[in-house]
Amino acid sequence: MGLTRVLVKDGGFGTQMTVHVGNSVDGDPLWSARFNATNPAAIINTHLDFLQNGADIILTNTYQASVEGYMEYLELDEEQSIELIRNTVRLAHIAKEKYLTECYQAQQTIPEGYPLIIASIGPFGAHLHDGSEYTGSYADYVPAKTITDWHRIRIEACLESGVDALAIETIPCQMEAEALVEMLCDDYPDVKFWVAFQCKDESSLAHGETFADAANAIWDLLAERNAQDKCLAVGVNCVHPKFVTSLFKSLNGDRNDEEQIPLVVYPNSGEVYDVVKGWEGREHCVPLANYVPEWAQLGAKIIGGCCRTYARDIRHIGEAIRNWNKLKKVA
């Protein structure tokens, strides 16, 4: 699955889902993962929104899904919680089948194997519900094995229901990323993935490590294991879009096209979250589609959106990516 063209990833799942369920997602300890149990139709329809607006890739709604979270907030037992995660992946498959049927009926051709269904594997901090996915503070006191053991249950549940790859995402600290990549190489040698870090500014991960150092460490780790082909990309997500170009230049700025590390990016809209007032500043946001050429030039192979990005934003990103892909074919 070496990526020759730039692919369009979906947008903010919880954001787009508000179209179907109203504004009851933010602030819930399970976030959008509650609706996997309570409103599966909304999950399917949210996936469909992104597919109908040009996404090559949809992520399963498993970012905040964990056995602990489901046991505590939905009063399920362990096996029921695991089955709910498996079923959440199946909802993405249902959406894909519906979309492919629509395309077939409209005589619209889709590239073989697409759209891709990729499992969202959010950070250890997400289930703590204390904001630590945006600080990585747990890296200072939680052992790597505790983190990988926690991830393993969800990863296996997703793999059992069938996914094309894993999105190791919103990872705030280098330690968690390295531990997960080592585990995937050792225990799941056939599984493809990407690693996307959460960054607090134009050079640093949320936990403070330098993005370029962390990304290079992952790439070197894969090289040592002869496993770079397992990794679709390394990059960032859930960051302010204005930070992305600097982050990518710090990693790929001095590499020529052949040497570039393949990158993935799906930032937030650029709005800022205020605990009291909610999201603010949409009117000042630069459309994400405007950034596509500079990010692709720096090696981005997968571009989409995260918080506060809707299906319409993905449509615009997709148009910009198609223009870029055409340009590169001519060049």
**pLDDT for position 98:** 98
* Measured distance CA(64)–CA(26) in Å, rounded: 12
Provide the CATH number for the domain around residue 20.
3.20.20.330
**pLDDT for position 271:** 86
Query: Does residue 1 lie in a domain region?
Result: no
Rounded to two decimals, the pTM is 0.96
What is the residue-averaged pLDDT of the chain?
94
Find the mean pLDDT for residues 229-254: 96
Q: pLDDT-derived band of residue 2, with 50, 70 and 90 as boundaries?
A: low
Render pLDDT for 141-152 as a digit per residue (tens, 0 to 9).
999 999 999 999
- DSSP for 54-80, please give it: T-SEEE-S-TT--HHHHHHHS---HHH
Query: Does residue 201 lie in a domain region?
Result: yes
Q: Which residues are annotated as a binding site?
A: 238, 306-307
Helix (H) or strand (E) holding 18: helix 13-21
Q: pLDDT-derived band of residue 281, with 50, 70 and 90 as boundaries?
A: confident
Number of other CB atoms surrounding residue 174 within 10 Å: 22
Higher pLDDT, residue 331 or 306:
306
**pLDDT for position 177:** 98
Query: Does residue 107 lie in a domain region?
Result: yes
Query: Does residue 2 lie in a domain region?
Result: no
**pLDDT for position 267:** 97
* Measured distance CA(51)–CA(219) in Å, rounded: 31
Query: Does residue 181 lie in a domain region?
Result: yes
Total domains, the chain: 1
What is the token pair recorded at 45?
A: 């329809």
79-86: long-range contacts, CB 8 A cutoff, minimum separation 24: 82/153, 82/157, 83/157, 84/36, 84/37, 85/36, 85/154, 85/157, 85/158, 86/157, 86/158, 86/160, 86/161
Is the CA virtual torsion 234, 239, 244, 250 positive or negative? negative
Whether 121 and 151 have beta carbons less than 8 Å apart is answered as: yes
Higher pLDDT, residue 263 or 272:
263
Say whether pLDDT at 157 is over 60: yes
Query: For the chain, what is the total number of helices (H) and then of strands (E)?
Result: 11, 10
Q: Which residues are annotated as a binding site for Zn(2+)?
A: 238, 306-307
**pLDDT for position 313:** 96
Query: Does residue 243 lie in a domain region?
Result: yes
* Measured distance CA(10)–CA(12) in Å, rounded: 7
Render pLDDT for 56-108 as a digit per residue (tens, 0 to 9).
999 999 998 999 999 999 999 999 999 999 999 999 999 999 999 999 999 99
Higher pLDDT, residue 211 or 32:
211
- Parent domain of 205: 7-329
